[in-house]
Amino acid sequence: MSNMVELSIAKAINAGIRKAMQENDKVLVFGEDVARLGGVFRVTEGLLDEFGEKRIFNSPIAESGIVGTAIGLAMRGFRPIAEIQFDGFIYPAFDQIVSQLAKLTNRSEGFLQMPVVIRVPYGGGIGAVEHHSESPEAYFAHTAGLRVISPSNANDAYWMIQQAIKSPDPVMFFEPKRRYWQKGQVDLDQAPIDMHSAVTLRAGSDVTIATYGPMVVTALQAAEIAAQEGINIEVIDIRSMSPIDFGHIAESVKKTGRLIVTHEAGTFVSISSEIAARIAELCFYYLEAPVIRVGGFDVPYPAAKLEELYLPDADRLMEAVDRVLAY
């Protein structure tokens, strides 16, 4: 029988990191205020007391230095978990990530492995100030050599962080911060699937909605509303933005004939752009309508009092459902 517990997404990530640190003393955690404080969102709370200051420690406020330190530790055989405190703070580390971390294994012809996990709380919905609510995942999905994933529920959070830590390649682990306190059942004994596999959360026959991270809940809400109108929506959590499980999405679209892709990030040159293009190739003879994308507007993330107008909600998804069914 499975060993099930109820955890929030934040506590599930904490439990997953704890298990990884118990199993491998080469796993280290560091970042701004992650030790005694447990991070801004308390995701690493309690780990210092269990593992000590040599395995979980605070860094200076220097994101480039955080990632550079992680690269050096990986070269010495460690498996570092580096936290970037907020999504918009990652840009000072961008050069280290895309020019060094992503390329060192290839540059060394496989001699140097980079088992680095970079944890990034991302997305809006928490009423924060500038640079605290961004969705920069497409920058990193575009970069060869990086794996990019995002859990949407507690069970995935628990298992995907462990899978990321065990990966020989660098993993960008995007955590949907407005869902940190969302609770769910976690199976402590059995990992659901590989971290790069998409899953169907709700079966349907009329329209497919593909999404990830914080928008999964919104997509499921839209599917519930649509059901009251007799519209049967299939919801797919892609879970991984690089690589993307296009096969899973294509099988759904071959059944429904229609696809909506949604995320909080703007749609211009985005994850949804790539999915739309690839599905147009794979499902050309099955599509009954163009692929429709729903995301944030093409403006800088607004002030907190306006963010609900910026973020896609169930109403905007339902408007997209009406459009795709009109063809």
Catalytic: 263? no
Last residue of a domain, one of 162, 187, 212: 187
181 and 211 both lie in a single domain: no
Same-domain status, 166 and 46:
yes
For residues 280 and 148, membership in a common domain is answered with no
Same domain membership, residue 126 and residue 35: yes
What is the model's pLDDT at position 1? 54
Q: Which domain holds residue 244?
A: 199-325
DSSP E strand stretches across 9-78:
27-31, 56-58
Per-residue pLDDT tens for 8-66? 999 999 999 999 999 999 999 999 999 999 999 999 999 999 999 999 999 999 999 99
Q: Specify if 194 maps to a domain.
A: no
What does the alpha-carbon distance between residue 136 and residue 98 come to, in Å, rounded to a whole number?
13
On average, the pLDDT of the chain sits at: 96
Residues 124 and 176 in one domain: yes
Residues of the chain with pLDDT under 70: 1-2
79-to-20, 76, 165, 170, 303 alpha-carbon distances in Å? 10, 9, 7, 10, 37
Q: Pick the catalytic residue: 131, 132, 142, 263?
A: 132
Q: Whole-angstrom Cα distance, residue 26 to residue 28?
A: 6
- Give residue 192's pLDDT: 78
Domains held by the chain: number = 2
- The model's pTM is 0.96
Q: Are residues 220 and 176 in the same domain?
A: no
Q: Is residue 105 part of a domain?
A: yes
